[in-house]
Structure 1
């Protein structure tokens, strides 16, 4: 329930955190506006029936509101250096919202991969509240 708590805090206190790493969570897709002013990297596996469609819809709604979202689908069976290279290639200075989906998998398998994606973690810890894009 960590990421659901994180997203709840992001919605209620949008200026509190410098960035959030949302791993395998779901949320009310109609309550996403406060997320548009933050730094967010969301990770899920396509085989997660709750988190995958929810995070995809949240990012879609943010894009409809004019927020730039960069997304990718990764093969979790690749060597980690290839996963990291693809994640690093996604990062651009003008983007503050990222969605990584692992092919297949499940709710549990997302956690097995998300915390080893080094570029995403480095990106998260490099965020500052003063760097808000919007």
Structure 2
């Protein structure tokens, strides 16, 4: 009986989550149809108001090479985007940062994760590469790769094997491999940290959560966890991780501020938090500050929090400065 109830409950939850996601995607499509400045073919929430993003994605996305990974374990293929530093010095190894986008980009082609927002392209700008020359990996997914029952598709395992394949082929420093992702991408990053706790040097989880029962390895990890305080699932996930850290007597730093503050003020608040020297850091955006004016997007506190997280330069710098085991 308990098993039957659990199955029914899981089914109802999945249906509810699917309905919520479909509503969000339909809202995105509706906005895209009304606003030709935002092409709905790439997924994501309507960001036609962000002229900087519209210009930057056209400049940076073409710098990525589109490649295909043939997975030896499943026989399946995964298309991905790879940025290679302009100048590779002989004998030098470089960091690799992997960005995984949200489910709105799944099934929309290899270019979608680069075009939906800042999360993939921000690491490949001239400014970022001048400070931190690095390979930037942005995989694409044919379908939603995780769900709220903590299940994963074959593409999640393929993602990790793709990273390892690139490490064997490219001059990548194994002590400076990073993962970051938003929503689905953050969930995948949580999962990968849970099964390979010593693989990544550090991580950035954005607007996401995972099964707290398997996240104890995070007590020994280095990461930044960023959410909108009004994002119900992600903020609940952050609360669970915080409770787990407290139970295990692991110190962490945290800050909360409005996403409407000037960028310099946001960066200063993050810098003050990071100055505490903790290896685990929580960032929350104050409720009702990530949503653009006149937005009708369902789940806006969730979808619009992503870009604000990736625009925090001190957070990106901190990630790239971390080394595995140090």
TM-score scaled by length of structure 2 = 0.39
For the Cα contact (< 8 Å) 1:32–1:62, is it kept in 2? no
1:59 is matched with which residue?
A: 242
1:120 is matched with which residue?
A: 315
Structure 1: which 4+ aligned runs deviate by more than 6 Å? none
2:153 is matched with which residue?
A: none
The one of 109, 112, 118 equivalent to 2:304 is 109
Deviation at 1:60, TM superposition (A): 2.2
1:77 is matched with which residue?
A: 260
Compare relative contact order (CA 8 Å, sep 6+) and give the higher one, 1 or 2. 1
Using the alignment, how far apart are the partners of 1:126 and 1:108 within structure 2?
28
Using the alignment, how far apart are the partners of 2:286 and 2:315 within structure 1?
17
Structure 2 residue runs without a partner (length 5+): 1-183, 291-300
- Superposed CA deviations along residues 40-92 of structure 1, whole A, max 9, x for unmatched, are 10000011111111112112211220111111111111000000000000014
Structure 1 residue runs without a partner (length 5+): none
**Alignment root-mean-square deviation, CA:** 1.2
Q: Residue 98 of structure 1 aligns to a residue in which SS?
A: strand
- Does residue 88 of the first structure (1) align with residue 278 of the second (2)? no
Using the alignment, how far apart are the partners of 2:244 and 2:275 within structure 1?
20
Using the alignment, how far apart are the partners of 2:260 and 2:187 within structure 1?
27
TM-score scaled by length of structure 1 = 0.92
The alignment of Structure 1 onto Structure 2 pairs a total of residues equal to: 131
Radius of gyration: which is bigger? 2
